[in-house]
Amino acid sequence: MTDRHGPAPQAQWTPDVDVTPALAASLIGEQFPGLLSVPIAPLATGWDNIAFLVGDQWLFRFPRREIAVPGVRREIAVLPRLAPLVPLPIPDPAFVGRPSDRYGWPFFGTAMLPGRELADSGLPDSRRIEAATAVGEFLRELHDPALARLPECASLPVDPMGRGNADVRASRARPVLARLGRAGVWPPDDEVGRLLDEAEATPQPAGRASLVVCHGDLHIRHVLVDLLGLATAIIDWGDLCLGDPVVDLGIAYLGFAGGARAALLSAYGRPVTAYQELAARTLAISLGASLAEYAADDERPDLLREALAGLRRAVSA
């Protein structure tokens, strides 16, 4: 998911290229003859990418907006190196599609990872402890400073969306929340307003934490869980970057509350400063608001319900 803000949210989701099943099947069959006769079906559509299931084994992901292309290139370059080093499955490109006259961007195929989005799971907060623990363990390993020194990771961009900066995230959240309010989706909330006020009034510390490898867009659509509520994979790495660990810690406040959040932070096992907590809560509000706007505009009631619940979690104890 890439940050957007402005007066016309509908235009945010319009693709630059409409990757139809027919086009995807043709490109895959042309470049990977072994998959020529394998059935293909749409699986999921995001803001910037579309995914297709090829047979029952492979998932192919195509950018549908030009802004996503650099992220796809980073995924292709870095994910094979990270995959064996983290404790949950992540996409590991097995097929790398080349740009062509008919489709000018790279694309890739990975083994289909099990599970469904946390956003669609319907899991009550009380049943999220196991998933939260696994996410915390995952982030502990991903944020190992040694990974940031790997040759494949050292040249990643540094927090290009400003997700580690509480003031930046607060300023981006406010117009989205205002649009949600005008649409009757999210009424003004005093607790959310106070937290954003605090974020805007609190300067970012001069000495930042050591840079670590960050997923960059870790939210409720990018954590997969099974029917028992166990985490099964972390997907959609198009915003892969280096940054302050807080870039990924918004998930602790957007997707989890109470005992589940405590379990995540305990499993993470790394210190979280007061500013990092403030920035993570603010990031959760920013991501939750954008997800809610997308869900309302695209008529995704389950995602809308979960995104609005995430806004309430972001300010909960």
Return the CATH fold of 9-111. Phosphorylase Kinase; domain 1 (3.30.200)
Which three-class secondary structure state does DSSP give residue 93? coil
The pLDDT assigned to 46 comes to 83
pLDDT band at 15 (very low <50, low <70, confident <90, very high): confident
Residue-wise pLDDT for 119-138, tens only, equals 999 999 999 999 999 999 99
Please give the Cα distance from 213 to 137 (Å, whole number).
15
Name residue, tokens 């499993």. Answer: 267
Q: Quote the CA–CA distance of 232 and 132 in Å, as a whole number.
A: 11
Cα 253-59-36 angle, rounded to 5 deg = 170
pLDDT of residue 47: 79
Strands 241-243 and 212-214: antiparallel
Indicate whether 2 pLDDT > 50.
no
To the nearest whole number, what is the mean pLDDT of the chain? 94
Percentage, residues of the chain above pLDDT 70: 96
Q: How many Å apart are CA 219 and CA 57, to the nearest integer?
A: 25
Rounded to an integer, what distance in angstroms lies between the CA atom of residue 271 and that of residue 249? 12
Ranges of each domain in the chain? 9-111, 116-314
Confidence at residue 4, expressed as pLDDT on a 0 to 100 scale:
47
* Superfamily of domain covering 116-314: Aminoglycoside phosphotransferase (APH), C-terminal lobe (3.90.1200.10)
Portion of the chain with pLDDT greater than 90, in percent: 91
Query: pTM (2 decimals)?
Result: 0.94
For 193-220, write each residue's pLDDT tens digit.
999 999 999 998 987 678 999 999 999 9
CA separation for the pair 256, 280 (Å, rounded) = 12
